[in-house]
RNA sequence: GCGGGCGUGAUGGAAUGGUAGACAUACCGGACUUAAAAUCCGGAGGGUGUAUACCCAUGCGGGUUCGAGUCCCGCCGCCCGCACCA
């Protein structure tokens, strides 16, 4: 063959050339008035942290493959890109490196835009925006005011992490082992009045509509369901035994297990419960306890992991179903004020947390649910609470009932008893989902457009006065929110009375920015947040792709936002994302110089891997010092196990990087970046190029119609058409690794066929070769678009491959007349038999039983059973 | 702690309940080469060993089924999220 003399494909020349051609032809600019059917592909937009990482390359390559494929299928495709540009890291950089968040952010965007362009993504850059652009956040302020006027905004108190030394609010991320990240001081909880979006108004709708999202991963829907956390229970009043410590007469608890009321042994209140606050005012011991609980911070994980502690209040309540008995009332750190009523009754036998608490404070444990088959006299609970099914016992009128029946009976019982002129118990549906606190005491975010007037109250900024611009002249020298100590920002006149008023200095959570950007992309330069008829034509997003780490918050908030924008007339859809795909991370081995905690992380570019006696070892490039190969982890700067996309593009080209991140691993799973893997991808790229060069040499001879009688020609045609069909299905299903494997197989088949054609080049064979090689080029085009363009040109095709329609499949080539079916005996493979497609049962039976190994095993006897799955498998049971 | 997921050769992985290991990487052998790289051809889950024969094998232990990597139950290990990171 001529391949040895073929010049290697040079991505450094070819890639910029085609990127320029696409740019000049405005290939990826999408017009809203294009009459073709719309298809909207969106990848989660990046935070401009500084540089693109391999996770971005993977995410955007996936979206790009789908976008280019859909484009070839004749859709008008919307595939935009922007920047989730507000947030904490910019402020951290400002504090640490004395740079302005704005300059830092826009510099990063410039770098990352250049990087993304070098990957050759088919993006409509004319629609680009950053959420920190005034043009974007001013529309967000307008949306906020609409939400406010529609009753979707509220103001209430909530807790924040407070650094007592830096005198500033900390994010959970900035709290490390209970201490502030910069000061090292123990963090405390503080209550602030903050702005909330009323997500909980939509709890039921957000839950129910999950059933309609059939193109979402089941796991994401399950996680959202659990997050919303609908539970039906009983709101129950416990009468306080008279005391001079409080004027309250009852405690209201919420429980999902009212059936276990006869097993109650205490009542516990959150440290934030009004009654505990009241007691703490006069009881230094209780005040100290409340302070202790507040030291845990606000992260749920930390609260849950903390040891369960409590303090007796000195109060008792009457047992609601055991006249004459009372229960002690405790303050406890594991009861949350945010859920239910901030008070529970404890039934230690049937709840693990209650049991832990009871054992610690020596409270009684009364089992009241008896598991099937247990002896009522002998059943006891040790260190593990019994939460399974069973029948009630030791419960008077509930005895013998199953749990659900007991819940109904006890609800009816309390519903008919009165206390303080209301029923003692009421059935109630509760959600774990809380309203969304969006206030942040930070500079680099979208200012909340509200004004506080002592006379007129809190009012929205009139829309004519929008935007509320972030001032540029801020200082990060003082702790706290720079907007708060800016000389002029907060001083404003009341829009109603004109008197002096105070501008809100909190900014919005950056999740607000990312909750509607998908809608903004449909008409990114509009004067209003959306142009509804344009947005409605594009939305919902057909395929949304991003990390599973966003499975709950970002996706739930976006779903809420679509509903809120619907209510306020900006959209006509409730669900923003019709299809969702959550891709895995890019992971890499870690390397350390020295051992254990003193080990110093080193990057893959600083080391060399050697194989000694079949064992992989790593050494430092310069010194040859041995390096420990550590675990495979998510690429992170701190562990230095990062591979810079720029370097990969420079060395191998964008197509190789794209091909590698799409091959091997299923897209929803993590992919391990390896040197060998990228080398393999690079070799395949050169192999395709050689195949094309060889084919184009052969195709200089006149070609004809493929000859159906030539077995090789027929085989390659079948392979080509089958691969086109399968790759299409795989791309639609985002199974890129399978698409890649199919393409490898076709390339292998073409290589073999090329040899056959070289040996005997008939016009018919040349026709078959031309068909196969052109299809191969079109199949790789979505994944390796630059190489595909070069190949397309080398094959003498007119125009760009990006503009060529997806190749048609000749269905008649996919139909086989016979099929080879495995034959099992008792489920184990023993033979194969080739049968006509759709063979009659009688024929299958006759053929199978006459097979030598089968006949031998049957030894003249008839099989017990013969399982025949037509055209799939035969199982002989003997 | 709560919630979700994953576990298959040396490695990444493939497999609508129907031939486990497609495809690739690494490896071994051969061709080409002064040599190496590249390229091309071939081999290969483990075991028994005349083998076209048999046994074992999808984290571990049970179950359902003619048939289980796949479904169910119970363990073990690893990963992700937990509301102010994005």
pLDDT digits (tens, 9 = 90+) for A173-196: 888 888 888 888 889 889 999 999
Q: Is the pLDDT of residue A151 over 50?
A: yes
Q: What tokens were used for A472?
A: 């540029």
> Å between A755 CA and B40 C1'?
11
Residue carrying structure tokens 């900035």: A174
State how far the Cα of A508 lies from the Cα of A444, in Å rounded to an integer.
9
Longest dimension (CA), chain A: 107
> Å between A671 CA and B59 C1'?
21
Lookup: nucleotide whose C1' is closest to A339 CA: B83
Lookup: nucleotide whose C1' is closest to A823 CA: B19
Q: Tell me the ipTM for this assembly.
A: 0.92
Lookup: nucleotide whose C1' is closest to A3 CA: B39
Neighbours of A618 (CB within 10 A): 21
Least confident of A42-46, A140-144, A607-611, A631-635: A607-611
Query: Residue A590's pLDDT is what?
Result: 75
Whole-number percent of chain A with pLDDT over 70: 97
For residue A558, the number of C-alpha atoms closer than 13 Å in the C-beta half-sphere is 25
Lookup: nucleotide whose C1' is closest to A865 CA: B66
CB A160 within 8 A of CB A169: yes
Nearest to A57 by CA among A669, A644, A681, A739: A644
Q: What are phi and psi of A789, to 5 degrees?
A: -65, -45
Query: Residue A2's pLDDT is what?
Result: 39
> Å between A388 CA and B73 C1'?
15
Q: Is the pLDDT of residue A594 over 80?
A: no
Residue carrying structure tokens 């993977």: A58
A675-731 tens-digit pLDDT: 888 888 999 999 999 999 999 999 999 999 988 888 899 999 999 999 999 999 999
Helices and strands in chain A: count of H runs, count of E runs: 25, 37
Global pTM reads 0.93
Specify which residue's alpha carbon is closest to the C1' of nucleotide B15: A738
Nearest to A200 by CA among A156, A239, A167: A156
Nucleotides of B under 7 A from a protein CB: 1-6, 11-16, 18-20, 22-27, 38-41, 53-55, 66-68, 79-86
State how far the Cα of A786 lies from the Cα of A244, in Å rounded to an integer.
82
> Å between A729 CA and B7 C1'?
28
Residue carrying structure tokens 């910019």: A90
Beta-carbon contacts of residue A703 (< 8 Å; ≥ 6 apart):
A763, A766, A767, A769, A770
Query: Residue A597's pLDDT is what?
Result: 54
């Amino acid at each position: 063959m001529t391949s040895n003399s073929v010049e290697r494909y040079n991505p450094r020349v070819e890639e910029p050339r085609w990127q320029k051609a696409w740019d000049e032809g405005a290939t990826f600019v999408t017009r809203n008035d294009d009459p073709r059917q719309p298809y909207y592909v969106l990848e989660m937009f990046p935070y401009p942290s500084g540089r693109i990482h391999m996770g971005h390359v993977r995410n955007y390559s996936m979206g790009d493959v789908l976008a280019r494929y859909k484009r070839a299928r004749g859709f008008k495709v919307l595939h935009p890109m922007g920047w989730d540009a507000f947030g904490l890291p910019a402020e951290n950089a400002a504090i640490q490196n004395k740079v302005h968040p704005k300059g830092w952010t826009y510099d990063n965007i410039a770098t990352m835009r250049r990087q993304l362009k070098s990957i050759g993504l088919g993006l409509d850059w004319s629609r680009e925006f950053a959420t920190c652009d005034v043009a974007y956040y001013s529309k967000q302020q307008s949306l906020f005011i609409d939400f406010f006027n529609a009753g979707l905004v509220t103001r209430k108190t909530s807790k924040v992490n407070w650094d007592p030394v830096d005198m500033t609010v900390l994010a959970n991320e900035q709290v490390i082992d209970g201490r502030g990240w910069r000061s090292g001081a123990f963090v405390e909880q503080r209550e602030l009045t903050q702005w909330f979006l009323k997500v909980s108004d939509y709890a039921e709708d957000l839950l129910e509509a999950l059933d309609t999202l059939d193109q979402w991963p089941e796991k994401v829907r399950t996680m959202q369901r659990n997050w919303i956390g609908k539970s039906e229970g009983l709101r129950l009043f416990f009468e306080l035994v008279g005391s001079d410590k409080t004027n309250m007469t009852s405690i209201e608890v919420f429980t999902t297990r009212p059936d276990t009321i006869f097993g109650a042994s205490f009542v516990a209140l959150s440290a934030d419960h009004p009654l505990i606050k009241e007691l703490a005012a006069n009881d230094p011991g209780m005040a100290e306890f409340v302070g202790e609980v507040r030291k845990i911070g606000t992260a749920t994980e930390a609260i849950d992991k903390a040891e369960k502690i409590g303090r007796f209040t000195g109060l008792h309540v009457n047992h609601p179903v055991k006249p004459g008995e009372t229960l002690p009332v405790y303050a406890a750190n594991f009861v949350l004020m945010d859920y239910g009523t901030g008070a529970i009754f404890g039934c230690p036998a049937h709840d693990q947390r209650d049991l832990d608490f009871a054992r610690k404070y020596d409270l009684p444990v009364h089992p009241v649910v008896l598991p099937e088959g247990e002896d009522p006299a002998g059943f006891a609970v040790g260190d593990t609470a019994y939460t399974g099914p069973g029948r009630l016992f030791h419960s008077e009128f509930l005895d013998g009932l199953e749990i659900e029946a007991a819940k109904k009976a006890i609800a009816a019982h309390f519903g008919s008893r009165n206390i303080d002129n209301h029923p003692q118990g009421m059935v109630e549906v509760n959600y774990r989902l809380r309203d969304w606190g969006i206030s942040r005491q930070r500079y680099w975010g979208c200012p909340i457009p509200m004004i506080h007037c002592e006379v007129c109250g809190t009012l929205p900024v009139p829309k004519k006065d929008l935007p509320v611009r972030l001032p540029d002249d801020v200082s990060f020298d003082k702790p706290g929110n720079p907007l708060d100590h800016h000389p002029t920002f907060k001083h404003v006149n009341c829009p109603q009375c004109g008197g002096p008023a105070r501008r809100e200095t909190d900014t919005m959570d950056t999740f607000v920015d990312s909750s509607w950007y998908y809608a903004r992309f449909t008409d990114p330069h509009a004067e209003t947040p959306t142009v509804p008829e344009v947005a409605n034509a594009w939305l919902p997003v057909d395929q949304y792709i991003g990390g599973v780490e966003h499975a709950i918050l970002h996706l739930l908030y976006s779903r809420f936002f679509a509903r809120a924008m619907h209510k306020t007339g900006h959209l006509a859809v409730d669900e923003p994302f019709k299809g969702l795909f959550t891709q895995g991370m890019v992971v890499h081995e870690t390397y350390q110089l020295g051992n254990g905690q003193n080990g110093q992380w080193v990057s893959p570019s600083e080391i060399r891997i050697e194989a000694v006696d079949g064992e992989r070892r790593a050494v430092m490039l310069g010194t040859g010092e041995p390096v420990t190969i550590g675990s495979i982890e998510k690429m992170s700067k701190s562990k230095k196990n990062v591979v810079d996309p720029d370097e990969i593009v420079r060395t191998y080209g964008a197509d190789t990087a794209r091909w590698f991140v799409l091959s091997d691993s299923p897209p929803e799973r993590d992919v391990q970046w390896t040197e060998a893997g990228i080398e393999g991808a690079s070799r395949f790229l050169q192999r395709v190029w050689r195949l094309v060069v060889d084919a184009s040499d052969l195709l200089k001879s006149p070609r004809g119609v493929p000859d159906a009688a030539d077995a090789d020609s027929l085989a390659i045609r079948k392979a080509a058409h089958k691969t086109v069909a399968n790759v299409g299905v795989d791309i639609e299903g985002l199974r890129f690794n399978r698409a890649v494997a199919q393409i490898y197989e076709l390339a292998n088949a073409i290589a073999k066929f090329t040899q056959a054609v070289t040996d005997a080049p008939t016009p018919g064979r040349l026709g078959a070769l031309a068909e196969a090689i052109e299809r191969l080029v079109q199949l790789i085009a979505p994944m390796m678009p630059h190489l595909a363009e070069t190949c397309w040109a080398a094959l003498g095709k007119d125009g760009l491959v990006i503009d060529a329609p997806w190749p048609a499949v000749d269905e008649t080539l996919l139909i086989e007349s016979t099929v080879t079916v495995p034959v099992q005996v008792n489920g184990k493979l023993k033979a194969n038999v080739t049968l006509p497609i759709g063979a009659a049962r009688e024929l299958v039976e006759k053929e199978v039983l006459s097979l030598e190994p089968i006949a031998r095993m049957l030894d003249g006897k008839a099989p017990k059973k013969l399982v025949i799955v037509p055209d799939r498998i035969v199982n002989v049971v003997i």
